[in-house]
Structure 1
Amino acid sequence: MRHRLASTAIGAAAIAAFLASPAFAETTLRALFMAQAAYSEADVRAMTEAFTKEHPDVKVELEFVPYEGLHDKTVLAQGSGGGYDVVLFDVIWPAEYASNDVLVDATDKITPEMKDGVLPGAWTTVQYDGKTYGMPWILDTKYLFYNKEILEKAGIKAPPKTWDELASQAATIKEKGLLEEPIVWSWSQAEAAVCDYTTILSAYGGSFLDADGKPAFQTGGGLEALQYMAGTMKDGITNPNSKEYLEEDVRKVFQNGDAAFALNWTYMYNLANDPKESKVAGKVGVVPAPGHEGTSEASAVNGSMGLGVTTTSQHKDEAWDYVTFMTSQKVQNEYARLSLPIWKSSYDDPAVTKGQEELVAAAKQSLAVMYPRPTTPRYQELSQALQLAIQSAILGMASPEEALTEAADNSGL
């Protein structure tokens, strides 16, 4: 009898302990982010901590990977039955993700306030075929950064407004012995190089695809863009290590004072102006990427990214709550130093603009002319073909025309 009573008491105690355990009511979300550019890891952790304070029954496990691993990590996790509830995705992936049922269609969750409050260009980041697959989060493009002190020493009165003028100013800086290789780029065989190429292609009025969805980048402005890139390498005004550089390498070279010009994302502005981080703090200028005379006044690539809920998530409602929190105007305004907000009215908020007026002025022009990389479910194949073409041309292994013709043949389109 004592044995039965003891067992009953132990069982009751175990059940009580289980019910009282905070883990019983806790939902755990797994979220995949990028460990470079835009918001820092510290920013994302701070935002997430603020979310969990408002949602004490939800725990969020964060994982950070380099941009280059973000796509494959998402797709592999999906194929194995999930693992992530929320994922960061690039503007180039919604077509593929929609075709392969990776992200939840969130069209009916977008409120009128969201539709009206977010900049129209930002919505293109998360949309495909008339549906919306998340919320835009990082609104980004590449800007031309320049070292004010070096330009002044060279007698250059204003930063370049055309790509030809950029090459000319770089040649002047080189001739005056101020810097041997005045321009630095992220031309490693990676998506970063395609973003630089897209920026220049847009300035020259090029197109990736024709009306039938076939490659068109091997002619016209697409060809001129790669000719320009290869030309700056051949002329010795581009840092030859650019062929191996990603965006963080570009930032380090520029803020060390070893470049007069650099093409990079928003996040570089405040880091390069931070005296703890940079030797050129206070000397950093930023303008829209140049245009091409007779064709464009400025150029820009759509480098924006969104947050979405995966179709394999077991906690879709909580995951959407997390997405809407992370993309909310309040949160974005608070962390506007490394990534500018997606919300229209944020650009009139002194809390956002103070101390980065020059960047915001450039953003107003650049964000209005962002050029998209092609929207196709086969984008990964196309990108890899273009990456190889860019490398071949800048290394002098093939002419730009030969390299792009081969890329068109190998694009899968």
Structure 2
Amino acid sequence: MIRRNLAAATAVTATLALALSGCGRSNDRPQSDAPASRLTNGPATGTITVWAQGTEGEALAGFLRPFKDKNPGVDVKVTAIPWDSAQNKYQTAIAGGTTPDIGMLGTDWMPTFASALRPAPADIDTGDIFPVSLQTTDIGGARLGVPWYVETRVLFYRTDLMKKAGFDSFPKDWQGFKALAAAYQDKAGAKYGVTLPSGGWNAFLNNLPFVWSNGADFMNADQTKWTFDTPKTVEALEYLSGFFKQGIANKNPDAETGSTASAFVDGSVPMFISGPWDIPGLKTAGGAGFEDKFAVAPIPAPPGGTSTSFAAGANLAVFKNSKNPDAAWKLVQWLTQPDVQVEWFKTVNDLPSRQSAWKDPALTADPKVSVFGEQLKSTKTAPVLTTWTQVSAAADTEIERVFRGGKSPQDAVRQLQSTADSLGTGE
């Protein structure tokens, strides 16, 4: 089943963000004032409560048997909660002092809940975790969790239709990518060459790989100033806008759940950008032999640019009012060991946050999976700021005005810069 999209994994609704961050205009970066601890010797004991969302929440309880075997005096109670209500549930629990010991928090949720979290013990080794993922846990001078799994985006494409379109291999650059999308239409019978987000929730976030690959960024290095209004950003948006102007991509694609996968399977839109969770779903939807008709590839690079994609995922964090923090951190430590992460990948297809786990054949043998590992070497992530949700929502509006309404990219980024400057960075 195609089970998750970017919005579910990383997005915060604007309304909730306003409520939690005081409209994002706080003068203080959110941080935890709880001191970091060290793990005790010996096995975990007592009760550990865990909240986890989506497929992870459904699969985790059964996955923990080896941990319980090693720690016979522990009882782990897992509560599966829906993604769409998770943040409200966490916030209510924080206000009422009824949080679980461990929470599964989307990477861009961390600023919102930072003041309610405990710093991770220094003896939990994070040395080989992907740096782009680890930085999402570092807030206010403290490390407030451990990355559990990572996500990145690559291009899914139909190999059989690519050959009909006259291409022997997937192009690595922008020019070739657009040419392939057009050839899918002209020579392979596709209605559109590629699905690209043209507006709505997280449209800007989903297009960021092209902005980043072109050498643009939207913040300075120390995250104190927004930098949307640059020639590189305009250039990337002009490139993307061309897909819609030329009719290679649909300005108003079907937003119904599963529609992108259906169009991919029937060949009407043979390219889209997504994450690893779509691999098993597409194999099932396409039926016997379909796995040989599609592949994945890194984000194409512009002239003089790089192939840089978006990284997200989820962190495991322990709340300050945990009744059993030592045992909770021992469970976090176990769940983030390389060998355990490999088994977790086999269970739910979550990509390991530990780089050493990527040496396992479970991740290297399948070329569809190994491409994600290669892409993870060149990724960026959303800023760890309380105002990011509001800025991202403003960017979604401007993206839609460009791709659907014909607004010039230059005017759009100028307006976005003004909006972002007025919202500030929450510092």
TM-score > 0.5 by shorter chain:
yes
2: distance between equivalents of 1:160 and 1:199? 16
Separation in 2, partners of 1:351, 1:166 = 29
Query: Per-residue deviation at 1:383?
Result: 1.6
Contact 1:189 1:243 (C-alpha < 8 Å) held by counterparts: no
The whole-number CA distance in structure 2 between the counterparts of 1:154 and 1:73 is 49
Which secondary structure state, in structure 2, belongs to the residue aligned with residue 29 of structure 1?
Answer: strand
With over 3 angstroms needed to count, the CA separation of the structure-2 counterparts of 1:252 and 1:50, relative to structure 1, is farther
Residue 91 of structure 2 corresponds to: 75
Cα deviations by residue, 1:88-113 (Å, 9 ceiling, x for unpaired): 22333334433xx0321115242xxx
Which amino acid in structure 2 is aligned with residue 163 of structure 1? W
Aligned letter for 1:106?
A
Q: Which runs of 5+ in 1 are unaligned?
A: 1-24
Q: Which residue of 1 aligns with 2:106?
A: 90
1:27 and 2:50 aligned: no
Which digits, 9 at most, give the CA deviation of each residue in 1:358-399, with x for residues without a partner?
A: 431x23431111122223232222122112222222221633
Residue in structure 1 matched with residue 117 of structure 2 by the alignment? 103
Give the structure 2 partner of residue 299 of structure 1. 308
Higher relative contact order (CA 8 A, sep 6+): 2
1:380 counterpart letter in structure 2: T
Question: Aligned with 2:260: secondary structure?
Answer: helix
1:120/1:234 Cα in 2 relative to 1: closer, same or farther (>3 Å)?
same
Indicate yes or no: 2:418 matched with 1:404.
no
Q: How does 1:270-349 map to 2 (within 5 A)?
A: 270-274=280-284, 280-296=290-306, 298-337=307-346, 338-349=349-360
Quick one: structure 1 residues 408 and 244, their matched pair in 2 at CA, closer, same or farther if it must change by over 3 Å?
Answer: farther
For 1:261-301, what per-residue CA distance to the aligned partner results, in whole angstroms no more than 9, with x for missing partners?
111012222332346768832212111111111122x1211
RMSD in angstroms over aligned alpha carbons? 2.9
- Supply the distance in 1 between the matched residues of 2:287 and 2:46 (Cα, whole angstroms): 40
Amino acid at match of 1:27: T
Any idea what SS the aligned residue of 2:80 has? strand
SS of 1:302 mapped into structure 2 = strand
The residue that corresponds to 1:171 in the other structure is 182
Look up the match of 1:65.
82
Q: Does 1:125 align with 2:136?
A: yes
Query: Is the 8 Å Cα contact of residues 92 and 373 (structure 1) preserved in structure 2?
Result: yes
Matching residue within 138, 141, 145 for 1:134: 145
Specify which of 227, 231, 250 is matched with residue 239 of structure 1.
250
What residue identity is the alignment partner of 2:282?
Answer: A
Say if 1:155 and 1:326 are closer, same or farther in 2 by CA, change over 3 A: same
- Give the secondary-structure state (helix, strand or coil) at the position aligned to 2:299: strand
Partner Cα separation in structure 1 for residue 86 and residue 214 of structure 2: 31
Counterparts of 2:267 and 2:105 in 1: how far apart (Å)? 33
Cα separation, partners in 2 of 1:188 and 1:62, compared to 1, 3 Å:
farther
Partner of 1:390: 399
CA contact (8 A) 1:185 1:250 kept: no
> Partners of 1:262 and 1:182 in 2: how far apart?
9
- CA shift, 1:241, in A, is 4.2
SS of the residue corresponding to residue 244 of structure 1 reads coil
**Would the alpha carbon gap of residues 312 and 289 (structure 1) be closer, same or farther in structure 2, given more than 3 Å must change?**
same
**Length-normalised TM-score, structure 2:** 0.78
Aligned length: 374
1:269 is the counterpart of 2:279: yes
| Superimposed CA distance per residue, residues 301-360 of structure 1 (whole angstroms, 9 cap, x where no aligned partner) | 122321111223333223223322322223211132422222233222224433x13431
Secondary structure of the residue that 1:373 maps to in structure 2? coil
Larger Rg: 1
SS at match of 2:116: coil
Verify: 1:44 aligned to 2:60, yes or no. yes
**Alpha-carbon distance between aligned partners in 1 of 2:288 and 2:263, rounded to the nearest angstrom:** 10
Which residue number corresponds to residue 196 of structure 1?
Answer: 206
Identity score, percent: 22
Select which of 237, 245, 270 maps to 1:260: 270
Contact 2:103 2:319 in 1 (8 A): yes
| 1:123 CA displacement | 2.0
| SS of equivalent to 2:386 | coil
